[in-house]
Amino acid sequence: MSPNELIKQALLCFNQHQLERGTQLIKQAADLGDAAAVLYYGDLLFKENKSAAYTYFEKQFHLGVPGTLHRKALLQFFFDRQKRSAALTDVFSDLQHEVARGDLQSVFALMTLVSEPKHLQYYQHMLHKLLPELARELFLDIDYATVNTQKPTYKALLADFLATTAKYEEFELVHLSSEIDLTLAKNALSALECQYIKLRFTSLLKPSMIVDPKTGVAAQNSYRTGSMVALNPEYLDWILLGIEWKMSAFAKFPREHGEVTNLIHYDSQQRYLPHYDAFVGDKITMQTLLQNGGQRSITVLCYLNSVSSGGETEFPNLGVKVIPRQGDMLMFRNIDANDHVLTGSYHAGLPVISGAKWVLSKWARQAVSDYGRVVYC
């Protein structure tokens, strides 16, 4: 049986909750040298025995399987809560080994984890060598003919990496309203993170929908224009995981409480009329909606570009308008301690007058969400 067929059979087993048999089939595909199966099996092993998974990824790297040390580093950094701090040097070493082999995702990861301009330029140059067209799209203002291509020392890069990750959860906060804890984190995302998300997911955008809470049916509605895409677990990579980490650290909710992150795009004159993010409805409707982790307690928005004119996030009951600026994150609470909807959370995305508006949105539930259960538990 070919690796592809083994993987198909494994997925059928997983859908039927035959976990042991599915894992055996994935391992067989991995043993045949299928790179995707190697990563998949390593992920499954990680849930049972983290140390064994790390050893497995290291062995596969030395056998020439691409991306294995990147996956090891990603799991240590984002999912190994007990050993993350102690393993940062190993994470950097693994990513550097992958960069030396031309691994694109490791280049992206390290570009988000260094702060010194000369070190960022070094990784930008590496990206330009691998994919020059993508590099030019990500960094529109760079003349690569003038970029310093001299490789920094390993010691200098590591020191920058450790200093940058030590500040991973530090934000410049502006408090806008105590009524709903409306807070802005300025420049929380880098220009690279913002541009990367737009470039990667633009082709997946579809017209925005509104879900009828009684029927569960999504349909287009003039109340909400624009387009969006849900960034489901299969899209998660280092940059998107990093953004989700920052969202949860900024708004102080466990990552497993978050719903899926949405990418939203508004063209000129598109908008979202005033609404609540918290669920409202009759008793039967609410029982259904609250099964997925409870009420939507917190909203986080990440602005991926600065809008030329219009596009503010307005809170009419508070008399507050927030101007979208690239890299800023905004959070607010939707319910109080007694689960009552906060009237101050009533908000709108005002029409874009000039240019376009790009934003990431995430809702956090009171408990573990379906998305959080799949990704973070």
Least confident of 112-121, 342-351, 356-365: 112-121
| Residue 159 CB-density burial (10 A; 0-12 exposed, 13-18 middle, 19+ buried) | middle
Cα gap 346→101, rounded to integer Å: 50
**How high is the pLDDT of residue 85?**
78
Least confident of 55-69, 141-155, 220-234, 296-310: 141-155
pLDDT band at 211 (very low <50, low <70, confident <90, very high): low
| Residue 47 CB-density burial (10 A; 0-12 exposed, 13-18 middle, 19+ buried) | exposed
**How high is the pLDDT of residue 112?**
96
Average pLDDT over residues 312-336: 98
- pLDDT above 80 (res 63): yes
Cα gap 327→190, rounded to integer Å: 6
- pLDDT tens sequence across 99-136: 999 999 999 999 999 999 999 999 998 999 999 999 98
Cα gap 165→288, rounded to integer Å: 40
pLDDT band at 95 (very low <50, low <70, confident <90, very high): very high
Report CA torsion sign: 76, 259, 261, 172. negative
Average pLDDT over residues 341-367: 98
What are 226's two structure tokens? Answer: 């624009």
What are 126's two structure tokens? Answer: 């590496």
Task: Count Cβ neighbours within 10 Å for each residue of 123-156 and write b for 16 or more, e otherwise.
Answer: bbbbbbeeeeebbeebbeeeebeebeeeebeeee
pLDDT band at 93 (very low <50, low <70, confident <90, very high): very high
Least confident of 20-24, 144-148, 158-162, 331-335: 144-148
Cα gap 76→57, rounded to integer Å: 12
**How high is the pLDDT of residue 217?**
64
Task: Count Cβ neighbours within 10 Å for each residue of 280-299 and write b for 16 or more, e otherwise.
Answer: eeeeebeeebbebbbbbbbb
Least confident of 9-18, 90-99, 309-318: 9-18
Identify which of 145, 106, 141, 107 has the alpha carbon closest to the alpha carbon of residue 124: 107
- pLDDT above 80 (res 144): no
Cα gap 262→375, rounded to integer Å: 15
**How high is the pLDDT of residue 182?**
98
For residues 359 and 323, the answer to whether their CB atoms sit within 8 Å is no
**How high is the pLDDT of residue 64?**
96
Average pLDDT over residues 12-38: 94
pLDDT band at 216 (very low <50, low <70, confident <90, very high): low
What are 372's two structure tokens? Answer: 């959080």
Cα gap 114→137, rounded to integer Å: 20
Q: What is the mean pLDDT of the chain?
A: 94
Q: How many CB atoms sit inside 10 A of residue 109's CB?
A: 26
**How high is the pLDDT of residue 152?**
94
Q: Which amino acid is at 200?
A: R
**How high is the pLDDT of residue 146?**
73
**How high is the pLDDT of residue 97?**
97
What are the contacts of 144-148 at 24+ separation with CB within 8 A?
147/121, 148/118, 148/121, 148/122
User: CA-CA distances (angstroms) from residue 285 to 214, 279, 334?
Assistant: 6, 9, 18
Higher pLDDT among residues 326 and 216, named by residue: 326
Average pLDDT over residues 223-241: 95
pLDDT band at 214 (very low <50, low <70, confident <90, very high): low
Report the percent of the chain where pLDDT is more than 70. Answer: 97
Enumerate residues 6+ apart whose C-beta is below 8 A from 59.
none
Cα gap 108→124, rounded to integer Å: 9
H/E run at residue 136: helix 132-138
Task: Give the distance, in angstroms, between the CA of residue 303 and the centroid of all CA atoms in the same chain.
Answer: 13
Report the percent of the chain where pLDDT is more than 90. Answer: 85
**How high is the pLDDT of residue 22?**
94
What are the contacts of 155-162 at 24+ separation with CB within 8 A?
156/116, 156/119, 157/92, 157/96, 157/110, 157/114, 157/119, 157/122, 158/89, 158/92, 160/114, 160/115, 160/116, 160/119, 161/88, 161/92, 161/110, 161/113, 161/114, 162/88, 162/89, 162/92
Q: What is the 3-state secondary structure (H, E, C) of 13-61?
A: HHHCCCHHHHHHHHHHHHHCCCHHHHHHHHHHHHHHCHHHHHHHHHHHH
Q: How do strand 357-365 and strand 261-266 relate by DSSP bridges? A: antiparallel
Q: How many CB atoms sit inside 10 A of residue 71's CB?
A: 24
Q: How do strand 313-315 and strand 347-349 relate by DSSP bridges? A: antiparallel
**How high is the pLDDT of residue 149?**
72
Q: Which amino acid is at 151?
A: K
pLDDT band at 320 (very low <50, low <70, confident <90, very high): very high
